[in-house]
Structure 1
Amino acid sequence: AARRISARLAAMGIAVLRFDFTGLGHSQGEFANTTFTSNVGDLRAAAALLVDRGMAPTLLIGHSLGGAAILRAAPDIPSARAVVTLGAPFDPGHVTHNFGEALDTIRRDGSAPVSLGGRSFTITDSFLRDVEAAELAPVIAHLKKALLVLHAPRDATVDISNASQIFTAARHPKSFVTLDGADHLISVPRDAEYAANVIAAWAGRYLDLTPPAPPIGAPEGVIRVSEADPDGFLQDVQSGPHHHTLADEPKAYGGTNRGMSPYGFVAAGLGACTSMTIRMYARRKGWPLKQVRVEVCHDKVHAQDADPGAEAKIDVFRRRIMLDGPLDGAQRQRLLEIADKCPVHRTLETSARVETELV
């Protein structure tokens, strides 16, 4: 889930530092030598690293016990303006109920292996004592940062009541969004994608996302397309920090139909440009145009044309324009002529050159 959410946020224009706590995933060290306090220290160290690089973090995101650690570390990261928790416990000591019969062994022998989410971890008595002593309520009450709580009602590892306690303890601005049927690890890709979309949309209210300067030759900036699902065709389409959408193929061609096809975007560009061009002309003339509607049909299927063996065809875009308002016949005819002068129309009717570079 962390990898998928990080990738989606990056595709939406938010740079992300993602790391595992000591001894987890690809991080060095032994998890058995860690405590809740040391996890919080890892977060502070990560924030300090970003500050040294001139990239002070403004958004903090933590999952499960990492969510509790994020809440505890947040007051010590002054650059952070917003905090997000996913499936986090209100009382970090709450996680010990998942250790089951191993609790007695840990307290007697000092450590014992525990299976969590299908993986084995060595839990020590010092970890137990530290996590049981952690108290988040005062920290959350004086967080002084925007808070988003994401939790699944059916979470069998950290009960949904934890989300209610975190939300109640926090002061505004605060938000709660349910993850519906997701499991604790948010292992279903669509659940992780939903969480990423919610986080990105919510964080936009609290983060100062400055668009990068457009490169020479691209006055409107760079459109970045990132593959979201290597097993299908879903794509994240990002234009600067404020505009994000999805591209996909219909289910009949192996996609999930969660976004327009590439040809759909071309047709949308023609329709939007047509409407805008008509509006600008009518506004300049002071004509009583109430609304413009444009329907565009393209008689080609992208998934079929994407086949290298597909036969080349002449593209035909059929455009129907509806003009609402007390316009006379001459005005309507003139606006129809103006529609043919929209920049996208002219680009499609003339030739274009695509220059490609492998980077």
Structure 2
Amino acid sequence: MPTERITFPGHAGSQLAARLDLPDGPVLATALFAHCFTCSKDIPAARRIAARLAAMGIAVMRFDFTGLGHSEGEFANTTFTSNVQDLVAAAQYLNTRGLAPELLIGHSLGGAAVLRARADIPTIKGVVTLGAPFDPGHVSHHFDDALPEIQSKGAAEVCLGGRPFRIGKAFVDDISDVALGPAIADLKAALLVLHAPRDETVNIDNASQIFLAAKHPKSFVTLDDADHLITRQQDAEYAADVIAAWATRYIQLKPPAPPIGTPEGIVRVTEADPGGFLQDIQSGPDHHAVADEPVSYGGTNRGMSPYGFVSSGLGACTSMTIRMYARRKGWPLVGVSVDVSHNKVHAQDADSAARGKIDQFTRKIRLEGRLTEEQKQKLLEIADKCPVHRTLEASSQVETLLEDTLFTA
């Protein structure tokens, strides 16, 4: 996944730091991600969601709000309203790049911000919230003890997540005055609400209020036992998959015609976890899968192994070929199932002229229906005419090219 580091002017002119995660191929749509209160653009959930969307052709810009992460400005001078203004500024920057955003994604207070910002970003077709509060004033419970000092002195230093932050009176007053209900009711975009029932930071009642305030189309998906920051990889992966699948219903992803000579298009494989072996596999805009290795081989067992995909291709092609022939003949074939196993065997066991080891695929074909023995034998012969079978049996050539790197992290 190519990533471009960029800066753009925020609401007050300070340069805000951002990452623009791009697809390896053409950009089919653009999303804008807003991080949680006092977090940054680089939290695991943001990275995983961006990677998943980029794999299906959606560029994602995630940025640090004013005064946070690598962005300029004083956090003490920011408010919820200024966060919304930063989001609008980010959308305006994307417009100048010809990447007008169609999807807004917000985590925690960032979720509340995208709900409010939607009205000022007319190109948005879908809004996603993760663990978002219905009342932005909810975040003040993080620094309840400092509220008297903030009110009397205009600001106070508080410790959030083990780090010091200076909270100003303007921020406290602003979040107290925000009412999201009207903005949600007038969203004029599809809404996806993601929330964990056991979220101890933002109670799930907030998700219910957001959902009830919205008009259709709207969806509500639980994140089960995820924590508020969605820190576990499997929870971030699940959220990313849900968002990716949901987005295709409201954003038209129209890829260009595949290159000449590739009638089925290109299958793109993108590394999803540099610390393991998880891979995103995208075939056009509609078909996604993940590949992995078993835990015993250093993977996380989140998907089939590469050889598992080869075996599944052989099994699927075999079943389809048998079905096609039986359908053409009008034979009473009710169902087909194919069990495929893969192993390495000594070449001399299969061919005395060969040396070393070769790959052996074993197929067990089950045919259901009132078929004669002659019909069954014929279908067994037809199985060997499966195109994938022929490819595996023949000598194949794999050409490998090194593509120029357009952007670096």
Length-normalised TM-score, structure 1: 0.92
The answer to whether 1:117 aligns with 2:161 is: yes
SS of the equivalent of 1:260 reads: coil
Superposed CA offset, 1:151-174 (max 9, x none): 122322222221121112112222
- Aligned residue in 1 for 2:291: 247
Residue by residue over 1:54-78, the C-alpha shift from the partner in whole angstroms, topping out at 9 and shown as x without a partner, is 3222211001111001000112222
Q: 2:106 aligns with which of 62, 84, 91?
A: 62
Matched to 1:27, the amino acid is S
Contact 1:87–1:151 under 8 Å retained in 2: yes
- 1:306 alignment counterpart: none
Q: In the TM superposition, what are the counterparts of 1:155-174 in structure 2 within 5 Å? A: 155-174=199-218
Match in the other structure for 1:30: 74
1:323-338 matched pairs, under 5 angstroms: 323-338=367-382
Q: CA deviation at 1:316?
A: 0.8
In structure 2, what is the Cα distance between the partners aligned to 1:218 and 1:325?
37
- 2:154 and 2:213 map into 1 onto residues whose CA distance is 34
Contact 2:195 2:207 (C-alpha < 8 Å) held by counterparts: yes
For residue 39 of structure 2, what is the aligned residue in structure 1? none
- Are 1:208 and 2:252 an aligned pair? yes
* Pair 1:126-2:180 in alignment: no
The 1:7/1:119 distance shift into structure 2, 3 A limit, reads farther
Q: SS of the residue aligned with 1:322?
A: strand
Is 1:347 aligned with 2:391? yes
- The structure 2 residue matched to 1:74, chosen from 109, 115, 118, is 118
Contact 1:14 1:241 in 2 (8 A): no
Number of the residue aligned with 2:147: 103
For 2:49 and 2:319, locate their aligned partners in 1 and report how far apart those are by CA, in whole Å: 36
1:176 to 209, 214, 220: 220
Distance in 2 (alpha carbons) for counterparts of 1:353 and 1:298: 21
CA shift, 1:83, in A, is: 0.8
Percent of aligned pairs with the same amino acid: 72
What do residues 122-177 of structure 1 show as CA deviations (whole Å, max 9, x unaligned)?
21111111221111011111212221111122322222221121112112222222
Q: Who is 1:316 aligned against?
A: 360
Pick which of 77-86 and 341-350 moved more: 77-86
**Counterpart of 1:307?**
none
State the one-letter code of the partner of 2:122: P
Amino acid at match of 1:175: S
Q: CA deviation at 1:312?
A: 5.1
Q: Which amino acid aligns with 1:4?
A: R
| Residue 275 (str. 1) matches residue 301 (str. 2) | no
User: More displaced, 332-341 or 190-199?
Assistant: 332-341
2:184 matched to which residue of 1? 140
Which piece of structure 1 moves more, 65-74 or 124-133? 124-133
Instruction: Give the residue type in structure 2 aligned to 1:123.
Output: I
Q: CA deviation at 1:6?
A: 1.2
What's the counterpart of residue 279 of structure 2?
Answer: 235
For 1:53, the equivalent position in structure 2 comes to 97
User: How many residue pairs are counted as aligned between the two chains?
Assistant: 350
Are 1:221 and 2:273 counterparts?
no
- Provide the C-alpha distance between the structure 1 equivalents of 2:96 and 2:257, rounded to a whole number of angstroms: 23
Distance 1:119 1:212, change over 3 A: farther
Conservation of the 8 A alpha-carbon contact between 1:13 and 1:238: no
Amino acid at match of 2:362: R
Match of 1:18 among 62, 66, 82: 62
Query: In 2, distance between residues paired with 1:276 and 1:52?
Result: 48
* Amino acid paired to 2:304: M
Counterpart among 89, 111, 115 of residue 133 in structure 2: 89
CA distance in 2, matches of 1:294, 1:156: 47
Structure 1 or 2: larger strand share? 2
User: What is the rounded CA distance, in whole Å, between the counterparts of 2:193 and 2:356 in structure 1?
Assistant: 51
Q: Distance in 2 between matches of 1:54 and 1:290?
A: 52
Distance 1:9 1:54 in 2: 18
CA shift, 1:283, in A, is: 2.1
CA distance in 1: counterparts of 2:344 and 2:72, whole angstroms: 53
Query: Counterpart of 1:114 in 2: which secondary structure?
Result: strand
- The one-letter code matched in structure 2 to 1:357 is L
Indicate if the aligned counterparts of 1:117 and 1:185 stay in contact, CA closer than 8 A.
no
Indicate conservation of the 8 Å contact 1:36/1:130, yes or no.
Answer: yes
Deviation digits for residues 210-258 of structure 1, max 9, x if unmatched?
1342123322222221222222222111111111111111222222222
Aligned residue identity for 1:155: D
Q: Would you say 1:299 and 2:299 are equivalent positions?
A: no
Asked if the contact 2:344/2:358 (under 8 Å) is kept, the reply is no
Distance 2:123 2:332 in 1: 50
The answer to whether the 8 Å contact 1:223/1:238 transfers is yes
What RMSD over aligned residues (CA atoms) do the two structures have, in Å? 1.9
Q: Check whether the contact 1:86–1:150 (CA below 8 A) recurs between aligned residues.
A: yes
Match of 1:308 in 2: none
Unaligned runs of at least 5 residues, structure 2: 1-44, 346-354, 404-409
1:264 lines up with 2:308 in the alignment: yes
